[in-house]
Amino acid sequence: MRRFELIAPCHFGMEAVLKREITDLGYDVSETADGRVTFLGDEEALCRANVFLRTAERVLIKVGRFQAGTFEELFQGTRALPWEEYIPRDGKFWIAKAASVKSKLFSPSDIQSIMKKAMVERMKEHYGLERFPESGEAFPVRVFLLKDEVTVGLDTTGESLHKRGYRKLTAKAPIAENLAAAMILLTPWHSGRILVDPFCGSGTIPIEAAMMAAHMAPGMKRGFTARNWPHVVGERLWRDTLEEAGELVDLSVETDIQGYDADDNMVSIARENARLAGVEKLIHFQRRDVAQLSHPKKYGFLITNPPYGERLEDKEALPALYRTIGDRFRCLDSWSLYLITSYEQAERDIGRKADKNRKIYNGMMKTYYYQFQGPKPPRRGGAHEG
């Protein structure tokens, strides 16, 4: 099989979680950088990464890397890459995104334009064409510039991997599915433990937890750009990967996953999204204000994405809201609280310093993932469970 260097971008701050996921899939990580993890694999790895990775944004084939401090160097470096190995003569190709950090070349539109021209020149030489019909399949390209080093990747995913296909209806400020999954993976929660999201909105955190509990691959119900590239990855490998994913699903697992929201409409939306995901029987949704938060059992997990207060009138309500979260948390004997927010006074108003605090960029917004860890539950025989 053909070997690739594959690049998986992710949310800034979640690289370690994604690295662990890739290693668990059985692939060797070759590099970890801010916002992305690079690993080695074949065509099967390309399929499996797209279908199974919960925290990645997408999967790119690394076409090449070179230094460029001028637009001429960018042109020549791009032209030297083996585009004909991936893009057929009728392929539709373009630079879908260019990102530049601490580099002399920083204009995304100029980078995109010059690289497209360089790709055309390379393809003209190879195919002997003056004009390209671009009537065939899509081949989007993504480029990262860091300190004048250019990394070029061919996007095998298409629409971001956070779009699992189940969330047809959303809340006002929904959390991305892959960020919700990463939040859960950063906790010791597993399907035998209680999980409650008191601000569930459209249900993303409970749904991602239920999918994990049922061993349901996040990419089972969506398409991928590279599935239309039979000369790169055969259809049989996609079918085999999806068959593997289907065989792993276990909807008979017993769970205690709950989602609460103060808005009846949001509860209805969450239930519908869970149904579309195929995990509605694993989650209990109900209308409940955070002030009414309680649970009779011990050793549970609160994993949540409460309001950040983007609007001025919302900001004024944040201290009281976070004080309520703290009050209810203190009443949940032996529970743990994992909370993501951009509100910088969260610890003060909750009334406790977090055991861990991880900085995560949710898009361009700096957020904090506060982790208030409760005790481990006792095991039978006096040992402790993780």
The DSSP-derived string for 92-139 is EEEEEEEEEES-S---HHHHHHHHHHHHHHHHHHHH--SS----S-EE
Q: Is the pLDDT of residue 383 over 60?
A: no
Cβ pair 187, 338 in contact under 8 A: yes
**Alpha helices, H only, the chain:** 15-25, 43-52, 71-79, 108-127, 177-185, 204-213, 235-248, 264-277, 312-331, 346-350
Q: Is the pLDDT of residue 127 over 60?
A: yes
Average confidence (pLDDT) over 139-152: 98
Average confidence (pLDDT) over 163-184: 88
Q: Convert the pLDDT of each residue in 131-145 to its tens digit.
A: 999 999 999 999 999
Q: Convert the pLDDT of each residue in 33-64 to its tens digit.
A: 999 999 999 999 999 999 999 999 999 999 99
Instruction: Note the pLDDT of residue 310.
Output: 65
Query: What is the CB neighbour count within 10 angstroms for residue 297?
Result: 12
pLDDT band per the 50, 70, 90 thresholds, residue 275: very high
> Distance (Å, rounded) from C-alpha 88 to C-alpha 123?
9
Q: Convert the pLDDT of each residue in 67-126 to its tens digit.
A: 999 999 999 999 999 999 999 999 999 999 999 999 999 999 999 999 999 999 999 999
Calculate the average pLDDT of the chain: 94
> Distance (Å, rounded) from C-alpha 40 to C-alpha 27?
6
Q: Is the pLDDT of residue 385 over 80?
A: no
Question: What are the percentages of helix, strand and coil residues in the chain, rounded to 5?
Answer: 35, 25, 40
Instruction: Note the pLDDT of residue 346.
Output: 96
pLDDT band per the 50, 70, 90 thresholds, residue 312: low
Q: Is the pLDDT of residue 314 over 80?
A: no
Instruction: Note the pLDDT of residue 316.
Output: 86
Instruction: Note the pLDDT of residue 185.
Output: 98
> Distance (Å, rounded) from C-alpha 70 to C-alpha 54?
37
Q: Is the pLDDT of residue 8 over 50?
A: yes
**Which of 206, 209, 176, 202 is closest to 284 using CA atoms?**
206
Give how far Cα 97 sits from Cα of 22, 70, 107, 178, Å.
24, 19, 11, 20
Average confidence (pLDDT) over 328-350: 96
pLDDT band per the 50, 70, 90 thresholds, residue 253: very high
> Distance (Å, rounded) from C-alpha 23 to C-alpha 25?
5
Average confidence (pLDDT) over 210-221: 97
pLDDT band per the 50, 70, 90 thresholds, residue 206: very high
